[in-house]
């Protein structure tokens, strides 16, 4: 890509499963939101037909992602694929922090 060229927005989605036995509770949810906000793309959690913005800690907590829950991460923007890859990796890392 040449200097000054804009990348076309991309849409991406990934199915994720929460493996931390405490679920995506306050501390890991805050880390998740912080990481999500480092990307330029708009990102959502879709669970049971409802969309939750990952830019909002309240929304992430409202998604009620307990251990074993599955959801879809959706992103739209220039770094959508990278964002979902990094967020999925972060969720997997939370598995190791069962006593968080």
pLDDT by residue, tens only, the chain of 100 residues: 555 556 677 899 999 999 999 999 999 999 999 999 999 999 999 999 999 999 999 999 999 999 999 999 999 999 999 999 999 999 999 876 654 4
Q: Does the annotation mark 76 as catalytic?
A: no
Contact partners, residue 15, CB within 8 Å, separation at least 6: 70, 71, 72
Nearest to 33 by CA among 14, 56, 17: 56
Q: Which of 14, 17, 25, 35 is catalytic?
A: 25
- Sorted by where each starts, the structural domains of the chain and their CATH numbers stand as 10-97 (3.30.1340.10)
* Contact predicate 41/78, CB 8 Å: yes
């Amino acid at each position: 890509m040449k200097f000054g060229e804009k990348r076309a927005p991309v849409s991406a989605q990934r199915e994720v499963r929460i493996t931390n036995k405490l679920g995506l509770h306050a501390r890991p949810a805050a880390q998740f939101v912080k990481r999500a906000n480092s990307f330029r793309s708009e990102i959502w959690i879709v669970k049971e037909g409802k969309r939750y913005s990952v830019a909002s800690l309240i929304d992430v907590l409202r998604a009620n992602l307990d251990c074993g829950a599955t959801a879809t991460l959706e992103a739209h923007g220039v770094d959508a694929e990278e964002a979902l890859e990094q967020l999925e990796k972060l969720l997997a890392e939370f598995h190791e922090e069962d006593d968080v």
